[in-house]
Homo-oligomer: A and B are copies of this chain.
Amino acid sequence: MKRALGVCYYPEHWPEEKWAEDAALMARTGLVWVRIGEFAWSRLEPQPGQLDFAWLDRAIETLGAAGLKVVLGTPTATPPRWMLDQHPDMLAVDREGRTRKFGSRRHYCFSHIGYRKACARIVTLLAERYGRNRHVAAWQTDNEYGCHDTVISYSDAARAEFRNWLAQRYQSPQALNRAWGNVFWSMDYESFEQIDLPNLTVCEANPAHEMAFRRFSSDQVVSFNRLQTEILRRHTDAPIIHNYMSRYTDFDHFDVGADLDIASWDSYPLGHLITRTDASEEDKKHYLRQGDPDNQAFHHDLYRAVGKGRWWIMEQQPGPVNWADYNPAPLPGMARLWAWEAFAHGAEAVCYFRWRQAPFAQEQMHAGLLRPDSEPAPALAEAAQVAQELADMPEVETGKADAAIIFDYPSAWAWSIQPQGKDFDYVALVFAYYRAMRQLGLNIDIVPASDPDIARYKLVAIPGLMTVPERLSAQLERFEGVVLAGPRTGCKTEEFSIPVPLPPALPGLDTRVAYVESLPPDAPVALEAGGHFMSWREKLEGSAEALERCSDGWPALVGSGRMFYVGGWGDRVALSRIVGMACRRAGIETLNLPRDVRVRTTATHRFYFNYGGEQIAFAGNDLAPGGVGWERL
């Protein structure tokens, strides 16, 4: 399949006269895909039962006639105002107990049965009408599940469904009490009806209670999405996609992904960098107009895993946006670079968001490929250039990776429930390992803990994995590559207890975490070999050899031939050295990249990306600021 560009478009926002003109310019620019419809419910059904699909018929026909392929979104992220008259209790409730009102989007609780039925009805109507439409070549379910913190709801509907979920999982209150350790502080329950949602407790709720609620909340998204995919599959063979968000972990993307054909994500590199708490102030300034050089790649690799190999960028930032604390303009060239970084990681499509900047409502300050006055914005020419360049490139392909990192949503929930040190963040920890590998020039795969398949790799990193599942444990037993685990790996049971024997309990590695400590930002612990442990450190005991030590003698890295455990959160210097050691032991070749340069290798090409604001010469490539280069292998 040929790699392709696309764009997000809202025909309902513009006079019908403009549609054909817009479609023609899209085609001329080289765009292939156009996503529509995902917020249009109030125009498809202005009043309950009064359906108006005629305009959508015409819009699809107009776009299709121009040669474009349509991604049709189900409009369930924006129920019309009249829906509230039918279901006044469908709104989500926040942690403080406040009902989250109508007037923007995503105003629904995933647990509300009545709203689910309404969704099933509109999706069925759309699927029946457009399931075999020759221009509708893909479907999107809802939009950005979880955006604006909408997965976790403390509504009455959520409480009722949580109790059902608990009853299914534990079968008896006594079993639940035992699993959660409710003897502690006399928290025992005698019936599932006594169990409330874990907000507004006097002090923190039992972490097992919180964890169960997080598992439940994620499962609600999965079943909400599955309701739609099951309907769609009855009427269409087109691939079904959802557009995920970056660094968003409130539901398990792998679980939702199991019901999709393609995973996609919405990539806004500048806003992501500004709002990310684990980026240094210096990096935020240095990459202000380029975005973090590793964050997009990390998500490309993640969603390739979520999509079981097939993935897109559904929304690509084209210029300044409206939602970050500060919204700078990208460096010229970035709209091209970001697209190529995605294609180099195996993306089938990259769609810019959005076609024309809307002059009204919430996103009026969000750039598009066109300005509000329909003149081209800077990204339009960059998109056209990418379209041109794609013509000369081979079909979609993905590079082989020697190294993998295990990623696990429940671990993100666990450490947000129990950080133990104020700033402990699971995604930041995994990302630190990812960055260390990428700065060494590696191709990397992300692998889910729940469904691993690690035999093909030379090196697997497992940082911070709450519980090592049976299947992964069994694979580790047989694994012939190098394993780099820790800190905080395998340190909880599924029910959020400390396992005995003590963690990490890795096959063939005699080491135990006797206790842990968390550290303030200004009190890192130096390592003898250079660099520091920041934030987190573990006291390791056992016979495993200490390959590195802290300045006060605590073992920092223990292990042997193929199994290693890191007893703390290494800073860049430490992680670069430790990952480098692991690569050497695994027989993986590494590069020595300049700060701003990244590489990615496909089956046929090696790509070079310059995330810096200065011209750089590297490996024979002359890379302009924000420049991309490639060579055939």
Contact = CB atoms under 8 A, between A and B. Distances in A.
A373 B497 contact: no
A198 B42 contact: no
Nearest to A502: B373
Interface stretch (A76-84, A390-398, A404-412): A76-84
Given A13-B183, A81-B190, 17 more contacts: A13-B184, A43-B183, A43-B188, A97-B98, A103-B198, A107-B201, A107-B202, A148-B202, A207-B361, A288-B523, A322-B420, A325-B422, A327-B421, A328-B523, A329-B539, A371-B515, A372-B502
* CB-based closest 10 A-B pairs: A181-B360, A42-B186, A184-B361, A359-B498, A103-B201, A78-B186, A181-B361, A148-B203, A325-B422, A329-B517
Contact of A189 (B39, B81, B377): B81
A389 interface: no
Chain A, interface size: which category? 35 or more
Interface in A202-229: 202-209
A201 B96 CA distance: 14
8 contacts: A97-B98, A281-B522, A284-B520, A285-B522, A319-B515, A322-B420, A359-B497, A364-B498
A61 interface: no
Contacts of A281: 522
B517 A201 contact: no
Given A82-B190, A372-B500, A517 B103 contact: no
A362 interface: yes
A532 to B, nearest CB: 14
A463 interface: no
B201 A104 contact: yes
A40 interface: yes
Nearest to A539: B329
A75 interface: yes
A530 interface: no
Interface string A276-306: 0000010011001000000000000000000
Interface in A492-528: 495-502, 514-520, 522-523
B326 A103 contact: no
Nearest to A189: B81
Contacts of A364: 181, 207, 496-498
B421 A326 contact: yes
A526 to B, nearest CB: 14
A467 to B, nearest CB: 14
Contacts of A79: 186
A92 B367 contact: no
Contacts of A42: 182-183, 186-188
B105 A185 contact: yes
Contacts of A375: 514
Contact of A201 (B102, B206, B284): B102
Contacts of A82: 190, 194
A203 B320 CA distance: 19
Contact of A185 (B208, B319, B362, B371): B362
Interface in A61-117: 75, 78-82, 92, 96-107
Given A81-B188, A362-B207, A519 B326 contact: yes
A200 interface: yes
A421 B323 CA distance: 9
Nearest to A320: B517
Given A188-B42, A516-B365, A103 B325 contact: no
A316 to B, nearest CB: 17
A212 B188 CA distance: 38
Contact of A202 (B92, B187, B495, B518): B92
A180 interface: yes
A369 to B, nearest CB: 12
A489 interface: no
B75 A358 contact: no
A274 interface: yes
B101 A520 contact: no
Contacts of A328: 517-519, 523
A194 to B, nearest CB: 5
Contacts of A373: 500-502
A202 B101 contact: yes
A97 B100 CA distance: 11
A243 to B, nearest CB: 15
Contacts of A285: 520, 522-523
A200 B281 CA distance: 32
Interface string A163-206: 00000000000000000111111111110001010111111111
A416 interface: no
A364 B180 CA distance: 11
A288 to B, nearest CB: 5
A439 interface: no
A362 B206 contact: yes
A385 interface: no
Given A325-B422, A500-B359, A75 B186 contact: yes
